[in-house]
Homo-oligomer: A and B are copies of this chain.
Amino acid sequence: MNRKGARATISDVAKAAQTGKTSVSRYLNGELQVLSADLKQRIEHAIAALDYRPSQMARGLKRGRTRLIGLIIADITNPYSVDVLSGIEAACRAQGFTLLVCNTNNEVDQEQHYLQLLSSYQVEGIVVNAVGMREEALGRLQQSLLPMVLIDRKIPDFACDVIGLNNTEAATVATRHLIDQGYRALLFLSEPLGLVNTRQERLEAFVSCARDRHDLITESAEVALTDADQLEQVLLDFYQRHRGEPAAVLVANGALTLQAARALRRLGLNWGEEIGLLGFDELEWAELAGVGITTLKQPTWQIGYAALEQVIRRIEGDNAPVSEQVFSGELIVRGSTTTR
């Protein structure tokens, strides 16, 4: 090793192999044809002996390519996000990139903070599963020309590649299923719509399905994920006003489905019997909850994988106009919409 306890550098290797740094560098970068067999041997040997590994820091500094991708996730405890992360991770591995994961905890401030941070680490691209972003930040990102793709939801007035679910199609499939099963009073339950296109699109499709069907009653409600009481209230109210007819709830995402199921449980309402229940996002425990919960499963892993592929395309210079890539969901029917 070298005099200090520190890590071996390219110079140490060069010295040990009795050559210059240039040749070592070439060896590392695969320009093997240019080196004599003997020299190759010596370098290989020296590297092994010193347990040398090139510093990605210095390399990035010099070349301007860090092979780093930043991922900003709003809520790491959300299974949807984790599955997506898993897909992104796989794609990174396949393409030789390393992922810098940042969890914003649903705080807009953190989102800002991490955007800065990632940029200061010279990431080559960013994937965002956002809560919402302030406009200054967006301006900066655009002018910095950092390749970026959004997952799941768009950001208003921000031209950017988006990868996500075909919300209209999926919500239509879900709603039709409920109608086909004979439900006549339908409640669309969502977190506050805000400017979240995902929620809006799902709601719109839901409403569209029921248009011109005067035998149907459709309603919608927005509740905060954290407000258990309000949720209980909304569900109870809906149920009581439609005692006579088959009623069902369509929940806009997995996290809310969990809360809704808890609320129904507390109210003593059994899904599949007193009330229908269908939730967006597959849940690993869906079959274990009572008679099972019907879900609309998203191809989350593929969404993540595709997102990373898109960023890389941009990194490699693709200048095509902003694209939107949507995937189809899959309805998984269980007891909560079939048992009556």
Contact = CB atoms under 8 A, between A and B. Distances in A.
B53 A120 contact: yes
B284 A258 contact: yes
Given A98-B117, A283-B285, A288-B262, A145 B5 contact: yes
A117 B339 CA distance: 52
A261 B288 CA distance: 8
A51 B140 contact: yes
A24 to B, nearest CB: 15
A53 B120 CA distance: 6
Interface in A45-63: 51, 53-58, 60-61
Contact of A258 (B117, B143, B265, B285): B285
Given A55-B61, A100-B100, A288-B289, 15 more contacts: A51-B144, A53-B119, A55-B122, A57-B57, A61-B61, A76-B86, A86-B103, A98-B121, A99-B101, A99-B102, A100-B101, A265-B287, A285-B288, A288-B288, A288-B290
Of the four ranges (under 10, 10 to 19, 20 to 34, 35 or more), the interface on chain A belongs to 35 or more
A283 to B, nearest CB: 7
A138 to B, nearest CB: 13
A55 B110 CA distance: 20
Interface in A249-284: 258, 261-262, 265, 283-284
A77 B82 contact: yes
Given A100-B98, A103-B89, A120 B55 contact: yes
A178 interface: no
A53 B121 CA distance: 10
Nearest to A98: B117
A85 B76 contact: yes
A117 B98 CA distance: 9
B262 A120 contact: no
A285 B261 CA distance: 9
Residue of A66, A98, A140 with highest tally of chain B CB at under 10 A: A98
A83 interface: yes
Interface string A53-91: 111111011000010000000001100001101100110
A324 to B, nearest CB: 26
Contacts of A119: 53
Given A82-B76, A103-B89, A116 B53 contact: yes
Contacts of A101: 99-101
B61 A120 contact: no
Nearest to A54: B120
A242 interface: no
